[in-house]
Amino acid sequence: MIVGVLALQGDVREHISALSDCGVGALEVRTLSELESVQALVIPGGESTTISKLARAFDLFDGIQQRIKAGMPVFGSCAGLILLADRVLDAIVGQESFGGLNVTARRNAFGRQVDSFESDIEFKGITGPKFRAIFIRAPWIEECSEGVEVLAQIDNHPVAVRSGNLLATSFHPELTRDNRIHRYFVETICNNALRVGV
Ligand code: GLN
């Protein structure tokens, strides 16, 4: 299986390395043909406004949206969560998301860059010690619709969710050496999707 990492802006290298550690092929995706050659996609942390504009400029926006609708497994971290959310609060005027995840995300919900923090959290679906989660100008999920499973929360705000083949975290698992969340994505979501032929 090859998992792509949308490589327009953001912490692409870190995701590539976490995915490689999980034993799957990892490919940077910048073109439609690269998108067509992957079975799953990671949308990295970075700046959601920039990534969505570049996805339009690189002619990838509609292709990604269609693949999401068709059931491609996608993991979005931080800016990636915002880009998967159907509704975004505190967005800039005209900001677009790929959507697919039936949640309302609030950008920069925990504050500005100086309010970035780390926290040990429980993450439903992974075993072992709590997960060290790194939050950088992170969003939270303000409202979750039916069918969206909350996997982790901070102060009653969901910060990790799954819906079907979509996984999203407000924090950056790619910035730690702990690959359990990437492994969860590969083993629980991607492998299952491959088995049923998405
Ligand atoms: N605040 C950023 C945005 O709105 C996300 C920050 C991040 O990915 N670390 O896109």
Residue-wise pLDDT tens digits, 21-66: 999 999 999 999 999 999 999 999 999 999 999 999 999 999 999 9
How far is ligand 1, taken at its centre, from the CA of residue 33, in Å?
27
Q: Is the pTM of this model over 0.75?
A: yes
Q: Which of the residues are catalytic?
A: 78, 172, 174
Whole-number Å distance, alpha carbon 8 to ligand 1 midpoint, is 14
How many percent of the chain have pLDDT more than 90?
93
44 lines ligand 1 (CB under 6 A): no
Please, what are the domains in the chain? Answer: 2-196 (3.40.50.880)
pLDDT tens readout for residues 82-101: 999 999 999 999 999 999 99
> In the predicted model, is pLDDT for residue 198 greater than 80?
no
CA distance 60 to 53: 10
Residue 167 or 113, more confident: 167
Q: How far apart are CA 163 and CA 167, in angstroms?
A: 7
Q: How many residues does the chain have?
A: 198
What is d(CA 134, CA 128) in angstroms, rounded to the nearest whole number? 18
Say which residues have a Cβ less than 8 Å from residue 95's Cβ, sequence separation at least 6: 48, 49, 52, 88
Alpha carbon of 29 to ligand 1 centroid (Å): 20
pLDDT band at 111 (very low <50, low <70, confident <90, very high): confident
Closest atom of ligand 1 to CA, residue 49: 10
Look up residue 57 and give its two tokens.
């400029």
Mutate to test the pocket of ligand 1, among 42, 98, 106, 136 (most ligand atoms within 8 A of CB): 136
